[in-house]
Structure 1
Amino acid sequence: MVYEIMMPQLSDSMEEGKLISWKVNIGDHVSVGDVMADVESDKAIMEVQSFKDGIVKELKLKEGDIAPVGTTIAVIDTSQKEERTPAKTERIDQPKAPQTQPTSIKQPSVIQPSSTISIAQIEGFASPKAKAVAAKYGLDIAKLQQKGQLPIPANEEAIEKAYRRRYFTPKALQWIARYHLSIDAFEKGKKHGEKEVLAYIEEHDIPLPKPLDPMHKAMITVVTESAQKPVYHIYDAIDVTVLKEYESEQRTVTVWLIKLIGEVMMHHESFRTTLKESGLQVWPNASISVAMADGEALYMPVFKDVNKKSIKEISKILKDFKEKVKSQRVLPDDLEGATFGISNLGMMGVVRFDALIYKDASGIAAIGSETEGKISITLTLDHRIINGYQAAEFMERLKVLAVDALFYKKGIEDV
């Protein structure tokens, strides 16, 4: 009996997943609950477990491969016992970038060797196709097999690898793989090093291919959908002189802003509203998504029910989310449930900017840097949910609460 492990659907929007790493090898014994692999969805990196005991028979994907949801990624033989595990396990090779030349890049004419070898002249144990490859590259299959440098019989892949090893340095091959270059772009029968490959890349102005991972694809989908919303902006600022008096390592500006905006949202239900096909939905509590990034990975984890949370609790949640973002272990549930958002680039010196509304939220506040005791706030609002008058009322209440010392004192007392 065999048990197939499929590419799981780790979120409602996930259509494909990227295999980050295998945690097992072919021949390993696995038990129920053992982690088989790490898979990257459109939201995070998560573990894939086995739900049956058995021996790993096949690993159908290489690390780095992307496959649709439902694709078989591994096969476990459930009829075997652990003692039948082979003594020597087979370690799967790391994937290599395809050795095909992008159609948009013109290859220079290749200098052909002065003499060529016909297929009929090729000796050794190999298929006709393999001999054709050997003739193309001028390799002697028989000699290489005698030296143990080719398997018996030899296939096309083994012959091309032998040619690569002979005529390209390891670093040269790394650059060729990284830029998806064809080895046929370089003169045959001549040793090629790293400098020559880099010079070729620069001379022909070749771009570095960078495939989109599932997270990046999901981000593109989200921002594209957000850009279609009928939005408008309100540009204002709030006085933070009182807030700064109560700032500390744990009680940061971001923590206080989450609490401030959450408190004001409880007085303005349109900021706790989402729009569905059936109509508007007003949520009872204030849940706010906060933009966080780690390199190219961007997340909007949700601080749920912040109106019920103390400053200490919000600070702890912020710290936990930062750790999750850094390790790319944000769960799908962490990204759901917000009706409003915050994006703070002020800490990086950005004076003012516009932010895109995340998913179904009614709006988002873009926080700029502090200037003369004030920080700029740009509200991006969905006009289908919040009108200009409601937005102005919200902003006015936020400015008043921001200078209310009693609000901050109570926040500290609740810790």
Structure 2
Amino acid sequence: MTDILMPRLSDTMEEGVISSWQKQPGDEVAVGDVIVDIETDKAVMEYEAYEAGVLEKILVAEGETAAIGAPIAVLATSGAASSAPAPAPAAPEPASAPEPEPVVETPSAPAPVAAVPRSGNGSRPPSSPLARRLARDHGIDLATLNGSGPGGRIVRADIESAIRSGAPAPAPAAAPAPAPAAPAAPAVKAQAAEDPDVEAVPLNRFRKVAARRLTESKREAPHFYLNREVDAEPLLAFRARLNEALSPAKVSVNDLIVKASATALREHPAVNVSYTEENLLFHKRVHVGIAVAVEDGLLVPVIKDTDRKGVAEIGRETRELAGKARDGKLKPQEMSGGTFSISNLGMFGVDSFAAVINPPEAAILAVGGIRDEPVVRDGQVVPGKRLALTLSVDHRATDGATAAKFLDRLATLLQNPLLIVA
């Protein structure tokens, strides 16, 4: 027998929540099979088996929390598999149903597992991790809903619509399952009763963690901000020529900004640093994090060795990581190790903004949209395109002049984009 332990799936993780079991007691498990989806402080991640065998027992039910290193299930490995069935027949009285015993060993175990219904063949309606969590918290039976997402996938909006319409909880789970979910629903109803125009939605785990970390960042890191506008016309023209040459591959303006930032960081290593109480850490490699909006909030996948990669490669990797982020499939190593971050809200019509530093990094670049504005060229007012950049910097890690030189070099690269790929 081998205990399956709650893994550390992110550098800031202290405990995990069982989102959904992909294997049930008695199921065969091969190396690489996904056993369970685990909700961390950053994402819902798949946990793969490192050993083959049979899943003997689930120790932590769906919706329950376990500390890192705590046993969450028991696996009968190949060496012990032959002896695994022996204990069940040893008890003569319950011989007619020996297998269910491990599941119902504790009264609380089956109830949360039933909160996300499965059909007899182990399948479930396609749904996002957030939708499953909200459904579990509010006692919503996913099997009763029609998903509005791609391929009929049940998404957050479907669950919220069901909550507003008062969708009933599944009858079999109503009696034993209220323990983990009961506190949330009455709280929402109580607050709504006080003010019918207000709907209280409990914070999910991601937003709680983000709130804590960003509060710590603003409280502990003395932020200062540098603003710079650049002429975006050369950048747009270069991108058009590049896409013609790379067709059918495409490069975005953001891909060029990421590459230019990585190049500037390589030339200005004093910005590619992290602050600790004892040391200032100078990173010898440039790993740029790209902020991605997801259903749960915000994730920051990291492109490793960004300065050493071409623009087309950066574009492909960015799209791949962003897709994984939105599907909740990012691996821990794909979200760790960042030395600098970029947050781009230009596609949402935002002209400019200041982002909060993502600790332990020393700086983050906020990118606004490209605007049509009158500009002065050769003493004449002519139409132009401008791009606003805001650099947020931790003053403990670097000073204003150093950060200004970095931002000036970044602006030069963007206004002379041939230098980005040189």
Give the TM-score normalised by the residue count of structure 2.
0.67
Q: Which residue of 2 aligns with 1:224?
A: 215
1:14 aligns with 2:13: yes
In the alignment, the residues of structure 2 paired with residue 349 and residue 406 of structure 1 have an alpha-carbon distance, to the nearest angstrom, of 27
In structure 1, distance between residues paired with 2:284 and 2:184:
60
Residues 1-400 of structure 1: pairs in structure 2 closer than 5 A: 2-31=1-30, 33-51=32-50, 54-77=53-76, 79-81=80-82, 84=85, 93-95=113-115, 171-173=167-169, 180=182, 203-205=193-195, 207-210=199-202, 212-213=204-205, 215-227=206-218, 228-248=220-240, 250-371=250-371, 372=373, 373-400=385-412
What's the secondary structure of 1:278's corresponding residue?
A: coil
Counterpart secondary structure, 1:284: coil
Q: In 1, Cα distance between the equivalents of 2:233 and 2:370?
A: 10
State the distance in 1 between where 2:16 and 2:221 align. 28
Q: How far is the alpha carbon of 1:208 from its aligned partner? A: 4.2
- The answer on 1:403 being equivalent to 2:415 is yes
- Post-superposition Cα deviations, 1:313-340, rounded to whole Å, max 9, x if no partner, equal 1111111111211221222222233332
Task: Report if aligned partners of 1:18, 1:67 keep a CA contact under 8 Å in 2.
Answer: yes
TM-aligned CA distance change 1:50 to 1:320, over 3 Å: closer
Unpaired segments of 5 or more residues in structure 2? 89-95, 104-109, 117-135, 139-165, 244-249, 374-384
Is the Cα contact below 8 Å between 1:352 and 1:367 reproduced in 2?
yes
Check the 8 A contact 1:20/1:63 in 2, yes or no.
Answer: yes
CA shift for structure 1 position 98: 8.2
Distance 1:279 1:174, change over 3 A: same
Contact residue 54 and residue 81 of structure 1 kept, 8 A:
no
Task: Check conservation: 2:286, 2:305, Cα contact below 8 A.
Answer: yes
| Whole-Å separation in 2 of the counterparts to 1:98 and 1:333 | 29
Give distance in 1, aligned partners of 2:49 and 2:255: 40
Q: CA deviation at 1:381?
A: 0.7
- C-alpha change, 1:52 and 1:87, in structure 2 (3 Å) is farther
User: Would the alpha carbon gap of residues 255 and 10 (structure 1) be closer, same or farther in structure 2, given more than 3 Å must change?
Assistant: same
Gaps of 5+ in 1: 100-169, 186-197
CA shift for structure 1 position 377: 0.9
1:378–1:70 Cα change, 3 Å:
same
3-state DSSP of counterpart to 1:360: coil
SS at match of 2:8: coil
Aligned length: 327
> CA 1:400/1:26 → structure 2, altered by over 3 Å: closer, same or farther?
closer
Largest Rg, 1 or 2? 1
Deviations 1:101-131 (A, max 9, x none): xxxxxxxxxxxxxxxxxxxxxxxxxxxxxxx
What is the SS of the residue equivalent to 1:61? coil
CA distance in 1, matches of 2:59, 2:407: 55
Q: TM-score when scaled to structure 1?
A: 0.68
- Cα shift at 1:55: 4.3
**Aligned-residue identity in percent:** 28
More displaced 10-residue stretch of structure 1: 268-277 or 236-245: 268-277
Residues of 1 paired with 2:343 and 2:319: CA distance? 16
Q: How far did 1:73 drift?
A: 1.9
Structure 2 counterpart SS, 1:42 = coil
Give, in whole Å, the separation in 2 of the partners of 1:98 and 1:298. Answer: 21
Task: Give the superposition deviation at 1:173.
Answer: 4.2
Cα RMSD for the two superposed structures? 3.7
Are the aligned partners of 1:339 and 1:361 in contact in 2 as well (CA < 8 Å)? yes
Closer, same or farther in 2 for the Cα pair 1:87/1:49, shift >3 Å? Answer: farther
